[in-house]
């Protein structure tokens, strides 16, 4: 059993548990995710930058650490909270334990608290800041309350251009706001040459590359803070190149068309979020990770059609733009929610790419 450790929320609530992973105090935005599996993909998702992740599923670490499942080589989250941490994982692909992995990544972990109670608090009162510490004498409530996630996209985006699968048939630009590796895999699987570009790449560089398609990735933070990116997208969307936005990319596209975004009470995080296609009436179980959404009331129907909605709270989950080959979704179609999930959206994107390239 590890050292005594505590989570102190900004409302003053204290949870007592035990420490694992890195031994250091950490302040972050405390959020919860409902996935029953996929803890490695969750940990390595850059969209969690600046946040402390709480797993609602009680047993975490049971299949160990499998690097080939990572969505990024490093962890961008600030901390990790679980009910039960498995110290003896069992899987033929396992290459290590969660505790050692968190230590290597310098990520503070906390286990043994009542994660159900914590989740209920976050659902009822909304996402809030928290501190993980092993010493209650170091608690500074003002510092906890004033914490904000800053420079999120800048911190997780690539710093220079990267080319993957250079002999691919179609050329696709992936604007990186914190992309997940599985987005890249889906494009490469469809024989795309992928240019991974920094978040602040302007329209001039896009014109030089003359791609057949543009992918806008997921990423962390408040979308409205990315003022430069939004201004760039206003010009990039005028190029007539097919575009597909995912999660933060979806939100940034909407902002570039003059729509608004709003912060959700506790967000949608997990592999079991229902999204309904308004064109077909079909509902898909999707993987999601976001704390903001495009405000439906702000959508100009002359510019875009509401495509998907969340079945739980009726928030916007997807848009199709009327006068350009552009569409976007709030969920993760690369997230493999099921055997007949929303991965087909990459095929729809490639159809547009093929038509444009022809």
Name the domain boundary from 111, 131, 149: 149
Spell out a b/e string for 67-105, using b for 16 or more CB atoms within 10 Å of the CB, else e. eeebbbeebbbbbbbbbebbeebeeeeeeebbbebbbeb
Report how many domains make up the chain.
2
60 CB-near residues (< 8 Å, 6+ apart) = 39, 82, 83, 84, 85, 86, 98
Domain of residue 252, residue span: 153-357
332 belongs to the catalytic site? yes
Residue 261 three-state SS: strand
> 304 and 174 in one domain?
yes
> 165 and 132 in one domain?
no
Classify 314 in phi/psi space as left (phi over 0), alpha (psi -120 to 50) or beta: left
> 309 and 235 in one domain?
yes
> 344 and 231 in one domain?
yes
Name the domain boundary from 149, 182, 211: 149
> 189 and 139 in one domain?
no
> 214 and 102 in one domain?
no
Which pLDDT score, from 0 to 100, does residue 338 have?
A: 52
> 165 and 111 in one domain?
no
Which pLDDT score, from 0 to 100, does residue 35 have?
A: 87
What CATH number does the domain containing 315 carry?
Answer: 3.40.50.880
> 251 and 109 in one domain?
no
Which pLDDT score, from 0 to 100, does residue 343 have?
A: 79
Compute mean pLDDT per 10 residues along the chain, 358 residues long, and list them. Answer: 92 97 97 93 96 97 96 96 95 96 97 97 96 96 96 96 97 97 94 98 97 98 97 97 98 98 95 94 93 97 98 97 96 70 87 93
Q: What is the DSSP letter of 22?
A: B
Name the domain boundary from 100, 132, 149: 149
> 164 and 305 in one domain?
yes
294: which 2 tokens?
Answer: 């495009």
Which pLDDT score, from 0 to 100, does residue 23 have?
A: 93
Which pLDDT score, from 0 to 100, does residue 271 have?
A: 87
| Strand 26-33, strand 51-55: pairing | parallel
> 251 and 169 in one domain?
yes
Which pLDDT score, from 0 to 100, does residue 68 have?
A: 94
Which pLDDT score, from 0 to 100, does residue 307 have?
A: 98
What CATH number does the domain containing 130 carry?
Answer: 3.50.30.20
334 belongs to the catalytic site? yes
Alpha-carbon distance of 36 to 60, in angstroms, equals 9
> 142 and 157 in one domain?
no
> 63 and 198 in one domain?
no
Radius of gyration of the chain (CA): 20
Identified catalytic residue from 247, 268, 316, 317? 247
């Amino acid at each position: 059993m590890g050292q005594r450790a505590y989570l102190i929320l900004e409302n003053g609530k204290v949870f007592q548990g035990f420490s694992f992973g890195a031994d250091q105090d950490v302040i972050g935005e405390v959020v919860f995710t409902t996935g029953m599996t996929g803890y490695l993909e969750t940990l390595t998702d850059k969209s969690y930058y600046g946040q402390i992740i709480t797993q609602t599923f009680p047993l975490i670490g049971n299949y160990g650490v499998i690097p080939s499942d990572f969505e990024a080589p490093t962890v961008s989250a600030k901390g990790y909270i679980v009910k039960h941490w498995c110290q003896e994982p069992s899987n033929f692909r396992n290459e290590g334990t969660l505790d050692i992995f968190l230590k290597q990544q310098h990520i503070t972990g906390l286990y043994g608290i009542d994660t159900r109670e914590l989740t209920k608090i976050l659902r009822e009162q909304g996402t809030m800041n928290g501190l993980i510490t092993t010493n209650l004498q170091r608690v500074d409530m003002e510092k906890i309350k004033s914490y904000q996630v800053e420079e999120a996209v800048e911190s997780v985006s690539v710093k220079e251009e990267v080319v993957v699968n250079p002999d691919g048939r179609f050329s696709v630009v992936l604007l990186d706001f914190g992309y997940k590796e599985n987005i890249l895999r889906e494009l490469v699987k469809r024989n795309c040459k992928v240019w991974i570009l920094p978040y602040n790449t302007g329209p001039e560089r896009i014109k030089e590359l003359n791609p057949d398609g543009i992918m806008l990735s997921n990423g962390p933070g408040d979308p409205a803070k990315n003022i430069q990116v939004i201004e760039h997208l206003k010009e990039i969307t005028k190029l007539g190149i097919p575009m597909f936005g995912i999660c933060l990319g979806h939100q940034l596209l909407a902002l570039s068309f003059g729509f608004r975004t709003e912060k959700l009470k506790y967000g949608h995080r997990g592999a079991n979020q229902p999204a309904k296609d308004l064109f077909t009436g079909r509902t898909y179980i999707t993987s999601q990770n976001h704390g903001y959404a495009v405000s439906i009331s702000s959508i100009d129907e002359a510019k875009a059609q509401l495509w998907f909605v969340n079945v739980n709270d009726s928030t916007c989950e997807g848009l199709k733009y009327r006068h350009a080959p552009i569409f976007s979704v709030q969920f993760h179609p690369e997230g493999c929610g099921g055997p007949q999930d929303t991965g087909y959206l990459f095929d729809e994107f490639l159809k547009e790419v093929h038509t444009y390239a022809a």
